[in-house]
């Protein structure tokens, strides 16, 4: 019995060895080993992906690149020497997905940045130590030492209804990166540039968007500054801003401004055509540096140099300078409505924006009844914005329009008007590391083209292309008839 069992065992073992030695068995063995190796590789890759920064493992495929960080943010984050805490005030399960990914990117950039969630249901009074505002879900607090800045959710996702009556739609944008990077730069900075706003001459108030941009770029604004009760402009003033005055300055104020520039001061002026009073003393500041002002409103009849079929809504050429080069590189168009013409002859002045050779100044100004040239109108081309730098490093930027920073025209220029002004401030103050991160549009952006380009597109789309298709069809029909 035992011999029979042994014999069967030996026969079974021989058959198994023979089966394992066949080609099919070898292939099956190789497949099993290969499967184990691939599985091990997948497990290793998955573990590695879990420890890598999210910027390497999560690709931003959103149309507006909502959680991709710009070079400005990377410079600010990588140069940090102080610890920065970002408190994310959000209820559990209600986190904004884009904000979640964006904050992960910030933590990956620097060991000095820490993001901490604070559930208002668990910490109901936490935000009260930073702001008196009603704190909404997905808001942020950025803190470093004794300095902090509260960023409401409404500043991260912005809704601007000011363009509704002109465009028929509400503008929406995502400003998460701009707000967070600006807040980080603010809380780690010791001193902030001071901008003084001159008053007492019927100056127009600054738009809310411009005020927000100043805060976002970490400028401190001092309003209602008057020259009537001072002997000189304070040293703390990094830039004096004169916005669309309707009355002239006095001789005494002119003397103060002259001394200010000659001692290295910085001045920015927005002043265009006037309906009634001529700003003779104020314009003398330009004449000191070889810049003269033409009478009336500039009209440009070159269809490449005006927008919206309105020859007084100008699209000037952008000259090369430290201020304007970023705009030219981005192929942006600055839109300058209702402007005066400047003529530059002094060596200390530099033209920033210029009209075409077909432009001229309408002497009638606001009372013009035609865009055609009439007797008394003076030929261009003209400069619409100029920068000045003297031997004492005094600097001035003059934009010959009162309407450059109106929200409507800034929107039409896709933000280029605001960029021109902020670049000018950076140039004057020497704040080359200013945070100037554009918000990311969540709606269709304007394609700003000249009237000439628009007319050419109409000819192509309505005439040339349909005619070409028709001719190709006729040719195809004739060829088929010849072959039959």
Whether 34 and 121 map to the same domain: the answer is no
Domain span at residue 147?
Answer: 64-190
Whether 152 and 232 map to the same domain: the answer is no
Whether 390 and 313 map to the same domain: the answer is yes
Write out the chain in H/E/C secondary structure. CHHHHHHHHHHHHHHHHHHHCCHHHHHHHHHHHHHHHHHHHHHHHHHHHHHCCHHHHCCCCCCCCCCCCCHHHHHHHHCCCCCEEEEEECCCCCCCHHHHHHHHHHHHHCCCEEEEEECCCCCCCHHHHCCCCCCCCCEEEEEECCEEEEECHHHHEEEECCCHHHHCCCEEEECHHHHHHHHHHHHHCCCCCEEEEECCCCCCCCCHHHHHHHHHCCCEEEEEECCCCCCCCCCCCCEEEEECCCCCCCHHHHHHHHHHHHCCCEEEEECCCCCCCCCHHHHHHHHCCCEEECCCEEEECCCCCEECCEEEEECCEECCCCCCHHHHHCCCCCCEECECCEEECCCCEEEEEECCCCEEEECCHHHCCCCCCCCCCEECCCEEEEEEECCCCCEEEEECECCCCCHHHHHHCCCHHHHHHHHHHHHHHCCCCCCCCCCEECCCCCCCCCHHHHHHHHHHHHHHHHHHHHHHHHHHHHHHHHHC
What global pTM score does this model have?
A: 0.73
Residue 415: predicted pLDDT: 87
Domain boundary residue, one of 175, 190, 205: 190
Residue 12: predicted pLDDT: 66
Residue 61: predicted pLDDT: 41
Total structural domains within the chain: 3
> At 328, which CATH number?
3.40.50.880
Query: Helices 208-216 & 176-188, crossing angle to 10 degrees?
Result: 50
Exposed/middle/buried for 221, CB within 10 Å: 0-12, 13-18, 19+?
middle
Domain-embedded: residue 57: no
Domain boundary residue, one of 190, 219, 247: 190
Whether 350 and 220 map to the same domain: the answer is yes
Whether 140 and 206 map to the same domain: the answer is no
Whether 268 and 176 map to the same domain: the answer is no
Domain-embedded: residue 484: no
Whether 47 and 76 map to the same domain: the answer is no
Residue 56: predicted pLDDT: 46
Whether 237 and 114 map to the same domain: the answer is no
Domain-embedded: residue 59: no
Whether 139 and 198 map to the same domain: the answer is no
Whether 174 and 219 map to the same domain: the answer is no
> At 158, which CATH number?
3.40.30.10
Domain-embedded: residue 244: yes
Residues lower than pLDDT 50 in the chain: 49, 51-52, 56-57, 59-61, 63
Domain-embedded: residue 475: no
Domain-embedded: residue 376: yes
Residue 291: predicted pLDDT: 96
Domain-embedded: residue 167: yes
Whether 216 and 304 map to the same domain: the answer is yes
Domain-embedded: residue 480: no
pLDDT tens readout for residues 254-296: 999 999 999 999 999 999 999 888 899 999 999 999 999 999 9
Whether 201 and 309 map to the same domain: the answer is yes
């Amino acid at each position: 019995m035992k011999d029979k069992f042994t014999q069967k065992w030996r026969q079974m073992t021989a058959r198994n060895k023979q089966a394992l030695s066949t080609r099919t068995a070898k292939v099956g063995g190789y497949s099993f080993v290969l499967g184990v190796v691939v599985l091990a590789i997948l497990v290793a890759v998955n573990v590695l992906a879990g420890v890598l920064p999210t910027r390497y493992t999560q690709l931003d495929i959103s149309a507006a690149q909502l959680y991709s960080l710009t070079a400005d943010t990377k410079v600010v984050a990588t140069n940090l020497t102080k610890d920065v805490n970002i408190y994310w005030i959000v209820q559990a399960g209600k986190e904004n997905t884009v904000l979640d990914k964006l904050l992960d990117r910030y933590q990956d950039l620097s060991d000095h940045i820490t993001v901490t969630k604070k559930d208002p249901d668990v910490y109901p009074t936490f935000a009260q130590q930073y702001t008196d505002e009603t704190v909404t879900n997905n808001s942020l607090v950025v803190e470093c030492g004794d300095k902090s800045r509260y960023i409401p959710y409404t500043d991260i996702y912005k809704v601007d209804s000011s363009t509704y009556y002109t465009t028929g739609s509400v503008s929406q944008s995502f400003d998460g990166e701009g707000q967070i990077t600006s807040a980080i730069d603010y809380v780690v900075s010791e001193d902030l540039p001071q901008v003084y706003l001159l008053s007492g001459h019927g100056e127009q108030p600054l738009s809310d968007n411009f005020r927000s941009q100043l805060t976002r770029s970490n400028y401190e604004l001092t309003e209602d500054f008057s020259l009537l009760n001072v002997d000189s402009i304070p040293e703390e003033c990094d830039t004096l801003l004169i916005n669309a005055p309707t009355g002239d300055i006095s001789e005494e104020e002119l003397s103060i401004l002259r001394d200010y520039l000659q001692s290295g001061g910085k001045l920015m002026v927005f002043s265009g055509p006037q309906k009634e009073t001529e700003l003779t003393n104020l314009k003398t500041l330009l004449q000191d540096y070889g810049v003269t002002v033409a009478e009336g409103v500039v009209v440009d009849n070159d269809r490449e140099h005006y927008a919206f079929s309105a020859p007084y809504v100008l699209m000037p050429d952008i000259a090369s300078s430290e201020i304007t080069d970023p705009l030219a590189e981005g192929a942006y168009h600055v839109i300058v409505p209702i402007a005066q013409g400047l003529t530059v002859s002094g060596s200390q002045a530099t033209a920033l924006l210029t009209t075409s050779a077909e432009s001229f100044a309408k002497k009638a100004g606001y009372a013009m009844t035609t865009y055609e040239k009439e007797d008394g109108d003076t030929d261009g081309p003209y400069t619409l914005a100029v920068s000045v730098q003297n031997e004492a490093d005094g600097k001035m930027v003059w934009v010959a329009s009162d309407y450059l920073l109106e929200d409507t025209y800034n929107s039409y220029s896709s933000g280029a008007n605001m960029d021109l002004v902020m670049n000018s401030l950076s140039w004057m103050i020497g704040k080359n590391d200013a945070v100037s991160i554009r918000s990311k549009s969540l709606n269709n952006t304007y394609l700003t083209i000249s009237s000439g380009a628009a007319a050419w597109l109409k000819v192509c789309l309505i005439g040339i292309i349909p005619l070409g298709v028709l001719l190709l069809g006729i040719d195809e029909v004739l060829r088929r008839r010849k072959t039959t």
